[in-house]
Structure 1
């Protein structure tokens, strides 16, 4: 299945499990190694404590996040580096074929990024991407939008509206690509064209 690019001028990509490979269990295990008990984690929400959401929408600073994580872990000795490493354990890689896809698409479309993420993850991702490819990750996009910077997250309608406003894109001329059905539904409400990238699909082959 291929996306319909008729009359499309802009493509907005999600990050996690679309461009970036993730392994959520790796972070859960890393936190368990630091003392996390199973009550803080459930399969639906992953991390129950509100500080994880607050970090994602920029209401909690990385410092406040680490402080709360130490409380959750009941491990006051956990260092900033240990906490960041555990939190970033889920970050895997952005394969070269996806980087080439973005460069190719940028010749004919305005390419954007919109991700629910946080300052700790993005700092790590940008550093690792620079080390791997020798270029800055944001250089692949006209603009990259992150939930912790715009203080809104998918699938809330306000998040898409803010991205539309800040980028100046016309929704009817814009294709939004995400791996989560709820985020696709939110984008439809905002008037965006959508493509749901399902589990068995590889984005570099779809485009």
Structure 2
């Protein structure tokens, strides 16, 4: 019992020092499922799908799209080339690529508004133009929102920044532009490798271990939300 109290006090003391929170988007706020897109891309004729596109590693085509080094049109041409099927339409490719995007569950946006009352909050997402366009359209249709701006002081997307996680430069840019003290700033992500990059920038880190619909309970369990 004494050990439990000791650990709990350490956690509470740590969280009391946090003044800023940077959230990842996919599978922290917005539910995604990589397996769906793996299956969708496989149906387009993509071989070796496990190594071509996965949560922890994927073809450079995706990195280039996420950092804005290639356009959506060039990405689609890359998919056609790898699938060896020039007849694939833009709509077919976009549907397969966007199939991983599930959505935001009821109550999640309210959690973000609640946490914003006590912390400076930011969004940092590895994203791309095709997914971004889909998400904005989804937010408008399903949640009557123009974008994510009401939940965060600033939102950052990799394809606009020409940088992606886990490279340390992307975290440093967020820190610099918002005059953040890294020791007082918590970064929450569902990918361990992204947390390692954040640590190199001096940020405090927290691995998201719950599904996005449980974000409120997760933040409460860490002492960040009452």
For the criterion TM > 0.5, the same-fold answer is yes
Bigger mean CA offset, 33-42 vs 116-125: 33-42
Higher helix share: 2
The runs of at least 4 aligned residues of structure 1 exceeding 6 Å deviation read none
1:125 aligned residue: 135
2:112 aligned residue: 102
1:204 aligned residue: 216
Whole-angstrom distance in 2 between the partners of 1:68 and 1:200: 32
Cα distance change, pair 175–45 in 1 and its aligned pair in 2 (3 A): closer
Q: Is the 8 A contact 1:59 1:151 kept in 2?
A: yes
2:206 aligned residue: 195
Cα distance change, pair 182–7 in 1 and its aligned pair in 2 (3 A): same
Q: Which of the numbers 19, 24, 42 marks the counterpart of 1:14?
A: 24
Whole-angstrom distance in 2 between the partners of 1:43 and 1:199: 19
Q: Which of the numbers 73, 77, 82 marks the counterpart of 2:92?
A: 82
Alpha-carbon deviation of 1:44?
A: 6.8
Whole-angstrom distance in 2 between the partners of 1:84 and 1:181: 28
Two-structure CA RMSD over aligned residues (Å)? 2.1
Q: Is the 8 A contact 1:150 1:162 kept in 2?
A: no
TM-score, normalization: structure 1? 0.90
Whole-angstrom distance in 1 between the partners of 2:171 and 2:107: 27
Give SS of 2:164's match: coil
2:222 aligned residue: none
TM-score, normalization: structure 2? 0.83
Alpha-carbon deviation of 1:98?
A: 1.5
Alpha-carbon deviations, 1:34-71, whole Å to 9, x = none? Answer: 222226636575532x2211001111111111111111
Cα distance change, pair 60–42 in 1 and its aligned pair in 2 (3 A): closer
Whole-angstrom distance in 2 between the partners of 1:57 and 1:150: 7
Q: Is the 8 A contact 2:28 2:211 kept in 1?
A: no
Q: Computing the radius of gyration over CA atoms, which structure comes out larger, 1 or 2?
A: 2
Give SS of 1:96's match: coil
Bigger mean CA offset, 191-200 vs 153-162: 191-200
Whole-angstrom distance in 2 between the partners of 1:43 and 1:111: 29
Uncovered stretches (5+) of structure 1, i.e. residues with no partner: none
Cα distance change, pair 165–7 in 1 and its aligned pair in 2 (3 A): same
Is 1:112 paired with 2:122?
yes
Q: Is the 8 A contact 1:12 1:176 kept in 2?
A: yes
Uncovered stretches (5+) of structure 2, i.e. residues with no partner: 1-7, 220-226
Number of residue pairs the alignment of both structures matches: 206
Give SS of 2:101's match: coil
Whole-angstrom distance in 2 between the partners of 1:170 and 1:159: 15
